[in-house]
Homo-oligomer: A and B are copies of this chain.
Amino acid sequence: MFNGAILVGAAERTGGEPFFAVDPSTGAKGDIAFHNASTADVADACALADAAFESFSTLSPETRASFLEAVADQILEIGDLLITTAMSETGLPRGRLEGERGRTVGQLRLFAAYVRQGDWLDATIDKALPERTPLPRSDLRRVNQSVGPVAVFGASNFPLAFSVAGGDTASAFAAGSPVVVKGHPAHPGTGELVARAIAAAVKASGLHEGVFSYLPGTTNDLGGALVADPRIKAVGFTGSRGGGIALMKIAANREEPIPVYSEMSSINPVVLLPGALAARAEALGTAFVGSLSLFAGQFCTNPGMVIALDSPDLDRFVASAAEALSANQPHVMLTPGIHAAYEKGVEALAGAEGVTTVARGAEAEGVNLAQSALFATSGEQFRTNPALSHEVFGSSSILVKCATIEEVIATIAQMEGQLTATLQMDESDNDNAAKLLPTLSRKVGRVLANGWPTGVEVTHAMVHGGPFPSTSDGRTTSVGTLAMMRFLRPVCYQDVVDAVLPPALQAANPWKLNRRMEGKLELAQ
């Protein structure tokens, strides 16, 4: 159950201006008064996180992995209340939210397994060379440890998988970082339920209460105070470009600047290559609309741009996409604010010079409904008007028609960083794909062939991250086990005796880690 409380460590607090959940499918306000956390709550939560750091960051892999699994178990313990609460707060359907819960729990368990395995510690040993001339070499041992407490800002479009116990929190916990979550006001009941599950896992695991705090709130000041707190050492954020950049500025202007990992905006170009178009233009058109309009297109990996050579095959694609789109029933969006921004973005595209409206989705009665949209323009127009490449969050996309493959490459080369790029290609397109790949790989974190970008697997090889502004830091991913690396830093120990060394570096290798010895990986027995 939830009651609108602020969770500072193990304590429940109230106070501050109340706010309420809104059911986007009706516009109705919920009954529970949620409490806006104050800057005093921020300071107390950060002090607790700092106090929890030493014990939490030095847990054995086994103990930390068990904690991650306890969080997963506690989330499942909430039962159907979690799903129904999230449905009423987001307008997302049951099946989608059940799937997202599965992903969230699976993600925690994958991190648990990876924490146990220990490769993330990157234990590296260069033994002393006492006989080396002219000078002997010391014994040098390096291991990763947590950067410190982490602030996490959840996203509205994934109320479970990218929110309170989502990828940022899971990877920060996995790295040994206490976490302070700024709760998203678009799904406060869902957030509190999950926060309570984490707090229960902290308690059941016998950990310091400061390992986790939950600060719900509606104001930018709250988030700003959290990022500015000197005890916070890194930030995970998923949301708008404006919000992400605001947090980056706060972090950069601290007395001690800290990294902000913000995942912000992307239009995820899909390149339709001639062979694929010739073979299956109609099927591509239908599948594209399926990806575009899934859950009102409220994905950071939504295919907001299609680019191809102008041709009769492309006309077939367009006709098929237009037909599918016109039949498309509108889906309720996450919040009235997101809906309003979508409407404004679509209107701007519809009125832009050199842009034609190819199709709009079906109209329907109701509030906060997103009517899908497909626009078209020329490569030249697209390159000339930067506004055409700005993300419109929702089921809107723009088709860019080029004359040559070189024009396609030049158009993509001039774009900002993106989370993904997709190639629709057949074997006959291999040469064109090879020509495109160097440009694509500079621009994106993930290149797909013959799929759609909206599915993001949680695995070891996944990269959900790309050059700015798709993320603030294109050297990282926010999905998959590599996400842990955002919250780790290396520490070297020189000639420190075994009795005092961290276990990962001790001679007996008590954690049975794969270790790099003199630069060569040695697998644990």
Interface string of A500-525 (1 = CB under 8 A from B): 10100000000000101011110100
Contact B430 A500 (CB under 8 A): yes
Is A313 on the interface with B (CB-CB < 8 A)?
no
Is A96 on the interface with B (CB-CB < 8 A)?
no
A27 to chain B, nearest CB (A): 33
A residues contacting B by CB (< 8 A) are 53-54, 58, 113-114, 117, 119, 124-126, 135, 137-138, 140-142, 145, 147-148, 248-249, 252, 256-257, 259, 416-417, 423, 427, 430, 433-434, 437-438, 441-442, 444-451, 455, 457, 459-463, 465, 467-469, 472-477, 481-482, 488-497, 499-500, 502, 514, 516, 518-521, 523
Q: Which of B416, B461, B502 lies in contact with A141, CB distance below 8 A?
A: B461
* CB-defined A-B contacts under 8 Å, sample of 15: A54-B438, A113-B519, A119-B521, A126-B462, A140-B457, A140-B459, A141-B461, A257-B468, A427-B497, A447-B496, A448-B495, A448-B496, A451-B495, A463-B491, A475-B488
Bound form: Cα–Cα A246–B174 in Å: 34
Bound form: Cα–Cα A493–B516 in Å: 27
Contact A447 B490 (CB under 8 A): no
Contact B248 A462 (CB under 8 A): no
Point out the residues of chain B lying under 8 angstroms from A457, CB to CB: 126, 137-138, 140
Bound form: Cα–Cα A430–B500 in Å: 7
Bound form: Cα–Cα A465–B441 in Å: 29
Bound form: Cα–Cα A79–B175 in Å: 48
Task: With A492-B463, A497-B430 as known contacts, state yes or no: A521 contacts B519, CB within 8 Å.
Answer: no
A256 to chain B, nearest CB (A): 5
Closest to A146 in B: B442
Point out the residues of chain B lying under 8 angstroms from A249, CB to CB: 252
Contact B492 A256 (CB under 8 A): no
* List of 4 A-B pairs having minimum Cβ-Cβ separation, nearest first: A463-B492, A140-B461, A142-B461, A448-B494
Contact B460 A516 (CB under 8 A): yes
Closest to A139 in B: B461
Contact B58 A459 (CB under 8 A): no
Contact A138 B451 (CB under 8 A): yes
Instruction: From A141, A441, A518, A521, name the one whose CB has the most chain B CB atoms within 10 angstroms.
Output: A441
Point out the residues of chain B lying under 8 angstroms from A125, CB to CB: 461
Task: With A447-B494, A463-B142, A495-B450 as known contacts, state yes or no: A519 contacts B256, CB within 8 Å.
Answer: no
Task: With A461-B126, A521-B119 as known contacts, state yes or no: A437 contacts B500, CB within 8 Å.
Answer: yes
Task: With A475-B147, A490-B482, A494-B446 as known contacts, state yes or no: A417 contacts B256, CB within 8 Å.
Answer: yes
Closest to A479 in B: B492
Task: With A437-B500, A459-B140 as known contacts, state yes or no: A445 contacts B252, CB within 8 Å.
Answer: no
Contact B257 A462 (CB under 8 A): no
Closest to A134 in B: B99
Point out the residues of chain B lying under 8 angstroms from A502, CB to CB: 441
Q: Which of B124, B449, B472, B520 lies in contact with A461, CB distance below 8 A?
A: B124
A132 to chain B, nearest CB (A): 10
Closest to A245 in B: B257
Q: Which of B135, B467, B491 lies in contact with A256, CB distance below 8 A?
A: B467
Bound form: Cα–Cα A521–B494 in Å: 27
